[in-house]
């Protein structure tokens, strides 16, 4: 898989935000860009104003659909079928870029083509619900564009359907040569401000900083030399595995820095139970979150305005953040806290300033070695930036893939674990809205936002509402196999029939009380956050 | 490339660009009120008038493209006289309450009045009076201060793609308003606030918190989504009172509602201020959503809390091995914090059990 896998695994955009304006085709799939990445959506609107075509694939009528030339309303969880059938048409109609495929890719073989065979537009229509004419049109628009960029949000986790989606997307870009050039590419839009940075920095069970695998002995050795200690051999647990291990009593202690998994993770009941099983839980945060509420020790941390450091945005741009105000009370920044605990455990870190840490990161990861705090004074720099005179890299893979060739991947559509049935006839998707953010710890403390958007709601299609006798603003009960919540119904054409949407920001009706963290189906071993089946009824006070 | 002469000096420029663009590129000052390089040229305020040799009347620099051999005069007594009259006319129905106006010190109109030395006004006349107030929670709209430059209307439709406001009515009663004069109900990105040259549009959460004097400006990055917008925090006496963004950054100074108006949490009374140690045992049987309650904890000193953590981690590591411990780091922490957090788990605890919430 060479370079592509590394990069896609890391979820970095191949291209950058300012380039979007010069795309001549934008294919936005599974991203409510106008609400979740508002500034990127502005660039997309500029591109459309300049004549670019916009294709949106989303089960919901997201706000950006207003600007779209083509809207593919596929059923939740059927992305792979949709993408494969688009690839099918591109191949069948001879719209592939032969030269690019020959020189820059591998795996464009019998097996790959054979797999695509079955994803005819008709099959695509049957699985996704998108009319076959639209699938064909999308394929033609995408393949015929000079500079076509794909934009999506990182599926679910790196261990799920999400990966398949990414590969199916990569296949499209490889078929049409839309990589390694300006204003094109494969562009996952990362949600939280520094999610790119935290993966870059090696907060992953299988990689050190810079996507260097913990299981490769030479790499382990390099970090052992850098840090002056022996390092563990085997890969660690992923976030969702940690919770299962905790629930099973095998994981004894957790240290959670600045996250609120109780609200953000699927199946709240399971998360709460797992965390309560721990012998010892430390939570470091700026507020007493729902997760901090079950901790043994809670440490007061500083927020972005109270510290120095760097964030890396979704287009790999490393940027300085600067201390503007003093922290409240005795709150301390995370670096001081970790230094102190380390010292008590016999390992001296003693970093006096974040800049010292950044310089060490440069030693550990060559791709940022050329980025220094003094250079960042003049603005952000996009990695890779290996040397001090390197300008940074607005788009990746110029002149070929880093380690040889981009590889096609054979991807098969797998139905979601939960399919609607009589008891739970609706598909629930969860997500964000423009005004609130994540689990709301910050935005729910902004008065103006709360004044208008303090109430949890479930979006339901007018026809479904009619069938159920539900009117706009009615209080309804939404239940799944795991739990139920009570909230207001918002009757809107945004979701199609049979699909409902709940934003997960609100603790009063926590959407993740309903979602699934466990495989119900032995075939499907992954948590599936975007597809849960639910039932809806009018709420009656007992 | 073509040649033009501005105020007697020759410049070689790209054909097709406007006189104003040439002037800006070469640091020649031409006053403007309705132009913004990020918007389509509009030609509404007429403040940017210049004279072109061979043309009977002055033209607006913001809408007139340069042509080969053009000779342009950007300033002389005649032009400045006209500009002064324009400013006087605008001021003739302006409230003139700079003394208490939020925008003072950062207002284009105030600046122009200052440079043209407008103290008494020959045109002073009937003033517009608007008594109804817009009750939206984000943006204070004081249309008596509006000079109808149209920037807010244009940014809302051209850039934000929303079109929440328009210029309704004509002549003296012309007014920027949401449809049917309702309260503003939009994406509340505040692009309009950032681009308004006067105090007509202001962020409500900043009102009365401080204007320009003693305000420190610190460049940083938005704490919310992965776009990583650059923002300038305006700080007065250890409080963030306002957020702006520079037009020369990679996103041209545009922000969304969270970046622009979502800073209040920094000063929230709910912020944690001291380490907390649990006193009330966890109810293991309940799978309900926990309700955060400070009474479940007691305050502790840093030393006590850190000693407790270090001892507990050592004890668990000794008893069950390092893999019985795991860390979850945050996409909201800095690179440096994330780096030392994983280093702590790998080098100090001795496990690769480290992940972050990567789903979004
Ligand atoms: S806040 Fe944004 S959406 Fe609302 S009127 Fe102003 S520019 Fe338009
Ligand atoms: S409100 Fe401000 S930006 Fe809008 S037209 Fe009036 S002066 Fe111009
Ligand atoms: S201002 Fe809005 S779009 Fe920009 S980083 Fe912040 S949340 Fe994202
Ligand atoms: S700036 Fe040219 S007319 Fe207003």
CA distance A500 to A389: 51
Residues constituting chain A: 542
Tell whether B283 and B352 lie within a shared domain: yes
> Tokens representing B118?
């407008």
How close is the nearest chain B Cα to the Cα of A142, in Å?
24
Average pLDDT over residues A321-325: 95
More reliable by pLDDT, A454 or B32: B32
State the total domains in chain B: 4
Domain encompassing residue B52:
2-75
Burial of B71 (0-12, 13-18, 19+ CB in 10 A): middle
pLDDT at A119 (0 to 100): 93
In a domain, A390, yes or no: no
Tell whether B265 and B282 lie within a shared domain: no
CB A239 within 8 A of CB B354: no
pLDDT at A194 (0 to 100): 86
In the A/B pair of chains, how many CB contacts fall below 8 A?
A: 493
Q: For ligand 1, pick from B176, B192, B194 the residue to mutate: most ligand atoms within 8 Å of CB.
A: B192
CATH code of the domain containing B160: 3.30.70.20
pLDDT at A157 (0 to 100): 45
pTM of the model: 0.91
Last residue of one domain, picked from the residues A382, A402, A435? A382
Compute the mean pLDDT over every residue in chain B, rounded to the nearest whole number.
92
Residue B354 has pLDDT above 90, yes or no: yes
Region of poorest pLDDT, from A5-19, A502-516, B166-180, B306-320: A5-19
Tell whether A228 and A173 lie within a shared domain: no
Q: Which residue has the tokens 């060479």?
A: A2
Q: How far is CA B207 from the centre of its chain?
A: 14
CB B341 within 8 A of CB B327: yes
Tell whether A67 and A22 lie within a shared domain: yes
CATH code of the domain containing A338: 3.40.50.740
CATH code of the domain containing B12: 3.10.20.740
Tell whether A158 and A289 lie within a shared domain: no
pLDDT at A7 (0 to 100): 47
How are strands ordered across the β-sheet holding A381-382?
A: A309-312, A317-321, A381-382
Relative to the CA of B143, which ligand 2 atom is closest? 1
CA distance A102 to B10: 53
- The percentage of residues in chain A with a pLDDT greater than 70, rounded to a whole number, is 92
Q: How many CB atoms lie within 10 A of CB B16?
A: 10
Structure confidence at residue B307 as a pLDDT band (50, 70, 90): very high
Tell whether B191 and B243 lie within a shared domain: no
Tell whether B8 and B47 lie within a shared domain: yes
C-alpha neighbours within 13 Å on the C-beta side of residue B239: 13
Tell whether B281 and B346 lie within a shared domain: yes
- Does B109 sit in the ligand 2 pocket, CB within 6 Å? no
Tell whether A365 and A505 lie within a shared domain: no
CB A272 within 8 A of CB A293: no
pLDDT at B360 (0 to 100): 42
Tell whether A30 and A162 lie within a shared domain: yes
Tell whether B13 and B36 lie within a shared domain: yes
Residue A8 has pLDDT above 90, yes or no: no
- Does B253 sit in the ligand 3 pocket, CB within 6 Å? no
Q: Which among A50, A537, A49, A41 has a CA at the least distance from the CA of A58?
A: A41
Residues constituting chain B: 360
In a domain, A39, yes or no: yes
CATH code of the domain containing A23: 3.40.228.10
Tell whether A363 and A252 lie within a shared domain: yes
CA distance B344 to A335: 11
Average pLDDT over residues B16-25: 94
Last residue of one domain, picked from the residues A325, A355, A382? A382
CA distance A116 to A62: 29
CB A176 within 8 A of CB A211: no
Q: Which among B199, B202, B80, B96 has a CA at the least distance from the CA of B139?
A: B202
Which residues of A fall within a CB distance of 8 Å from B251?
A: 17, 39, 42
- Residue A283, C-beta contacts closer than 8 angstroms, at least 6 positions apart: A256, A289, A291, A292, A295, A297, A298, A299
- Residue B318, C-beta contacts closer than 8 angstroms, at least 6 positions apart: none
In a domain, B88, yes or no: no
More reliable by pLDDT, A186 or A164: A186
Q: Which among A4, A3, A49, A2 has a CA at the least distance from the CA of A23?
A: A49
Q: How far is CA A10 from CA A242, A306, A315, A424, B358, in A?
A: 20, 28, 12, 35, 10
Q: Which among B358, B349, B287 has a CA at the least distance from the CA of A282?
A: B349
| DSSP assignment string, A368-411 | GTT--HHHHTT--EESP--STT----SSS-TTSBTTB-EE----
CA distance B79 to A244: 76
Region of poorest pLDDT, from A55-64, A395-404, B164-173: A395-404
Q: Which among A414, A430, A437, A532 has a CA at the least distance from the CA of A479?
A: A532
Tell whether B254 and B320 lie within a shared domain: no
Degrees, nearest 5: CA angle B268-B272-B275: 170
In a domain, A120, yes or no: yes
Average pLDDT over residues A445-474: 88
Tell whether B15 and B64 lie within a shared domain: yes
Structure confidence at residue A359 as a pLDDT band (50, 70, 90): very high
C-alpha neighbours within 13 Å on the C-beta side of residue A160: 23
Average pLDDT over residues A225-244: 91
Q: For ligand 2, pick from B150, B151, B153 the residue to mutate: most ligand atoms within 8 Å of CB.
A: B151
CA distance A306 to B76: 50
CA distance B131 to B145: 13
Structure confidence at residue A12 as a pLDDT band (50, 70, 90): confident
In a domain, A317, yes or no: yes
Mark yes or no for CB contact B220/A339 under 8 Å.
no
Tell whether A69 and A126 lie within a shared domain: yes
Last residue of one domain, picked from the residues A189, A215, A231? A189
- Residue B50, C-beta contacts closer than 8 angstroms, at least 6 positions apart: B19, B30, B58, B59, B60, B61, B64, B72, B73, B74, B79
CA distance A335 to A288: 20
In a domain, B12, yes or no: yes
Q: What is the ipTM of this complex?
A: 0.90
- Residue A248, C-beta contacts closer than 8 angstroms, at least 6 positions apart: none
Structure confidence at residue B62 as a pLDDT band (50, 70, 90): very high
Residue B357 has pLDDT above 80, yes or no: no
Name the residue with the closest Cα to ligand 3, atom 4: B229
> Tokens representing A446?
């902004």
In a domain, A258, yes or no: yes
CA distance B291 to A288: 10
> Tokens representing A338?
């970790």
CA distance B226 to A41: 13
Region of poorest pLDDT, from A272-286, B117-131, B146-160: B117-131
CA of B43 to the centre of ligand 2 (A): 14
pLDDT at A5 (0 to 100): 52
In a domain, B18, yes or no: yes
Structure confidence at residue B239 as a pLDDT band (50, 70, 90): very high
The listed range with the strongest mean pLDDT (A31-40, B70-79, B162-171) is: B70-79
Domain encompassing residue A175:
2-189
Q: Which residue has the tokens 């109109």?
A: B109
Tell whether A459 and A496 lie within a shared domain: yes
Residue A448 has pLDDT above 90, yes or no: no
State the total domains in chain A: 3
Tell whether A264 and A171 lie within a shared domain: no
Which residues of A fall within a CB distance of 8 Å from B296?
A: 293
In a domain, A399, yes or no: no
pLDDT at A422 (0 to 100): 82
Mark yes or no for CB contact A434/B312 under 8 Å.
no
Q: Which candidate from B189, B228, B294 shows the least CB-CB separation from A38?
A: B189
Tell whether B11 and B36 lie within a shared domain: yes
Q: Which among A199, A53, A255, A484 has a CA at the least distance from the CA of B331?
A: A199
- Residue A397, C-beta contacts closer than 8 angstroms, at least 6 positions apart: A3, A14, A179, A180, A406
pLDDT at A155 (0 to 100): 55
The ligand placed nearest to the CA atom of residue B178 is: 1
CA of B59 to the centre of ligand 4 (A): 10
Average pLDDT over residues A426-434: 83
CA distance A190 to B225: 8
pLDDT at A523 (0 to 100): 41
Tell whether B218 and B284 lie within a shared domain: no
Residue A522 has pLDDT above 50, yes or no: no
In a domain, B98, yes or no: no
Tell whether A365 and A259 lie within a shared domain: yes
Looking at the DSSP bridge assignments, the partners of residue B239 are: B236
Backbone dihedral region for residue B73 (phi beyond 0: left; psi -120 to 50: alpha; all else: beta):
beta
In a domain, B96, yes or no: no
In a domain, A30, yes or no: yes
Tell whether B216 and B182 lie within a shared domain: no
Residue B246 has pLDDT above 90, yes or no: yes
In a domain, A404, yes or no: no
Which residues of A fall within a CB distance of 8 Å from B253?
A: none
pLDDT at B269 (0 to 100): 92
Average pLDDT over residues A464-487: 89
How close is the nearest chain B Cα to the Cα of A91, in Å?
32
Predicted confidence (pLDDT) per residue in A110-155, tens digit: 888 899 899 999 999 999 999 999 999 999 999 998 899 999 886 5
Q: Which candidate from B224, B227, B293 shows the least CB-CB separation from A293?
A: B293
Strand, coil or helix: B224: coil
Predicted confidence (pLDDT) per residue in A180-232, tens digit: 888 888 888 887 888 888 888 989 899 999 988 999 999 999 999 999 999 99
Tell whether A300 and A342 lie within a shared domain: yes
Predicted confidence (pLDDT) per residue in B89-104, tens digit: 999 888 888 999 999 9
**If you measure CA to CA, which chain A residue comes closest to B215?**
A324
In a domain, B85, yes or no: no
Mutation site, A247, A252, A349, A506, interface B, largest B CB count within 10 A: A252
Q: How far is CA B294 from CA A293, A297, A402, B86, in A?
A: 8, 12, 52, 61
- Residue B145, C-beta contacts closer than 8 angstroms, at least 6 positions apart: B94, B95, B101, B103, B198, B199, B200
Region of poorest pLDDT, from A503-517, B148-162, B300-314: A503-517
Residue A338 has phi, psi (to 5 degrees) of: -65, -40
- Cis ω before B67 (30° cut-off from 0): no
Residue A491 has pLDDT above 60, yes or no: yes
> Tokens representing B128?
């517009």
Tell whether B216 and B173 lie within a shared domain: no
Structure confidence at residue A10 as a pLDDT band (50, 70, 90): low
Structure confidence at residue B289 as a pLDDT band (50, 70, 90): confident
In a domain, B234, yes or no: yes
Strand, coil or helix: A517: coil
DSSP H helices, A183-238, are 195-200, 217-227
Structure confidence at residue A1 as a pLDDT band (50, 70, 90): very low
Tell whether A241 and A339 lie within a shared domain: yes
Q: Which candidate from A18, A208, A338 shows the least CB-CB separation from B340?
A: A338
Relative to the CA of B153, which ligand 2 atom is closest? 4
How close is the nearest chain B Cα to the Cα of A283, in Å?
10
- Residue A326, C-beta contacts closer than 8 angstroms, at least 6 positions apart: A306, B238
Residue A402 has pLDDT above 70, yes or no: no
In a domain, B169, yes or no: yes
How are strands ordered across the β-sheet holding B49-52?
A: B9-13, B2-6, B71-73, B49-52, B59-60
């Amino acid at each position: 898989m060479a370079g592509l896998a590394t990069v896609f695994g890391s979820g970095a955009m191949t291209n950058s935000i300012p380039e979007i304006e010069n795309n001549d085709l934008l294919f936005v799939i599974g991203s409510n860009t106008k609400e979740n990445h508002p500034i990127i959506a502005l660039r997309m609107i500029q591109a459309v104003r300049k004549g670019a075509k916009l294709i949106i694939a989303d089960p919901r009528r997201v706000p950006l659909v207003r600007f779209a030339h083509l809207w593919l309303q596929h059923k939740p969880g059927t992305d792979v079928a949709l993408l494969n059938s688009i690839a099918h048409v591109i191949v069948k109609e001879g719209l592939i870029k032969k030269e690019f495929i020959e020189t820059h890719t591998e795996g464009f073989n019998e097996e790959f083509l054979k797999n695509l065979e079955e994803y005819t537009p008709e099959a695509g229509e049957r699985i996704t619900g998108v009319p076959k004419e639209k699938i064909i049109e999308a394929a033609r628009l995408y393949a015929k564009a000079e500079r076509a960029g794909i934009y999506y949000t990182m599926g679910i986790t790196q261990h799920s359907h999400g990966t398949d989606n990414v590969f199916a997307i990569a296949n499209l870009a490889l078929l049409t040569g839309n990589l390694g050039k300006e204003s094109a590419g494969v562009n996952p839009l990362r949600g939280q401000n520094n999610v790119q940075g935290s993966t870059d920095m090696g907060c992953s069970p299988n990689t050190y900083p810079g996507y260097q695998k913990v299981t490769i002995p030479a790499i382990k050795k390099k970090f052992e030399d850098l840090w002056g200690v022996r390092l563990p051999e085997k890969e660690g647990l992923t976030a969702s595995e940690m919770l299962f291990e905790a629930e099973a009593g095998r994981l004894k202690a957790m240290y959670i820095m600045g996250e609120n998994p109780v609200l953000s993770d699927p199946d709240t009941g399971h998360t709460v139970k797992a965390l309560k099983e721990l012998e010892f839980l430390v939570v470091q945060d700026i507020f007493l979150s729902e997760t901090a509420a079950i901790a043994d020790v809670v440490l007061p941390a500083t927020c972005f305005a109270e510290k120095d450091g760097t964030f890396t945005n979704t287009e790999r741009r490393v940027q300085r953040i600067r201390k503007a105000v003093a922290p409240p009370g005795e709150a301390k920044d995370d670096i001081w806290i970790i230094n102190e605990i380390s010292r008590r455990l016999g390992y001296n870190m003693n970093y006096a300033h974040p800049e010292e840490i950044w310089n060490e990161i440069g030693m550990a990861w060559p791709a940022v070695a050329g980025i220094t705090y003094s250079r960042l004074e003049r603005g952000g720099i996009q990695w890779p930036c290996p040397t001090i005179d390197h300008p940074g890299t607005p788009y990746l893979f110029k002149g070929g893939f880093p380690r040889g060739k981009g590889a096609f991947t054979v991807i098969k559509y797998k139905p979601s674990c939960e399919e609607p049935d009589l008891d739970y006839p609706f598909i629930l998707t969860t997500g964000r809205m423009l005004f609130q953010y994540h689990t709301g710890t910050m935005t729910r403390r902004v008065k103006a936002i709360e004044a208008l958007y303090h109430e949890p709601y479930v979006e339901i299609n007018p026809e479904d509402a009619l069938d159920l006798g539900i009117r706009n603003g009615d209080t309804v009960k939404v239940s799944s196999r795991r739990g139920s919540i009570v909230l207001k119904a918002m009757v809107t054409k945004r979701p199609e029939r049979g699909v409902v949407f709940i934003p997960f920001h609100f603790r009063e009706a926590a959407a993740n009380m309903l979602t699934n963290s466990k495989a119900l189906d032995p075939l499907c071993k992954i948590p599936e956050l975007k597809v849960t089946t639910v039932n809806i009824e009018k709420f009656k006070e007992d | 490339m073509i040649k033009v002469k501005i105020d007697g000096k020759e410049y070689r420029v790209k054909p097709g660009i406007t006189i104003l663009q040439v002037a800006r590129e070469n640091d020649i000052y031409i006053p403007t009120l309705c132009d913004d390089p990020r918007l389509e040229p509009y030609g509404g305020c007429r403040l940017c008038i210049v004279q072109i040799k061979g043309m009977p009347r002055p033209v607006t620099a913001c809408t007139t493209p340069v042509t080969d051999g053009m000779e342009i005069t950007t300033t002389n007594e005649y032009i400045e006289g006209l500009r002064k009259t324009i400013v006087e006319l605008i001021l003739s129905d302006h409230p003139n309450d700079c003394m208490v106006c939020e925008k003072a010190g950062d207002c284009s109109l105030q600046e122009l009045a200052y440079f043209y030395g407008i103290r008494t006004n020959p045109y002073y006349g009937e003033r517009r009076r608007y008594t109804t107030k817009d009750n939206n929670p984000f943006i204070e709209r004081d249309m008596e201060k509006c000079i109808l430059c149209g920037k807010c209307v244009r940014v809302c439709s051209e850039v934000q793609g929303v079109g929440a406001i328009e210029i309704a009515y004509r002549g003296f009663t012309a007014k920027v308003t949401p449809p049917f004069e309702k309260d503003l109900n939009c994406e509340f990105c505040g692009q309009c606030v950032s681009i308004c040259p006067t105090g007509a549009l202001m962020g409500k959460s900043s009102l009365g918190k401080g204007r320009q004097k003693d305000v420190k400006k610190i460049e940083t990055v938005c704490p919310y989504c992965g776009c990583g917008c650059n923002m300038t925090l305006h700080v007065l006496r250890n409080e963030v009172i306002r957020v702006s963004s520079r037009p020369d950054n990679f996103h041209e100074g545009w922000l969304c509602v969270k970046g622009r108006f979502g800073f209040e949490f920094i000063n929230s009374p709910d912020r944690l201020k001291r380490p907390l140690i649990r006193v009330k045992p966890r109810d293991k049987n309940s799978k309900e959503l926990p309700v955060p309650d400070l009474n479940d904890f007691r305050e502790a000193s840093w030393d006590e809390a850190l000693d407790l953590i270090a001892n507990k981690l050592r004890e668990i590591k000794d008893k069950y091995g390092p893999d019985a411990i795991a860390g979850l780091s945050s996409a909201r922490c800095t690179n440096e914090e994330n780096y030392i957090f994983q280093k702590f788990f790998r080098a100090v605890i001795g496990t690769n059990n480290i992940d972050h919430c990567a789903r979004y």
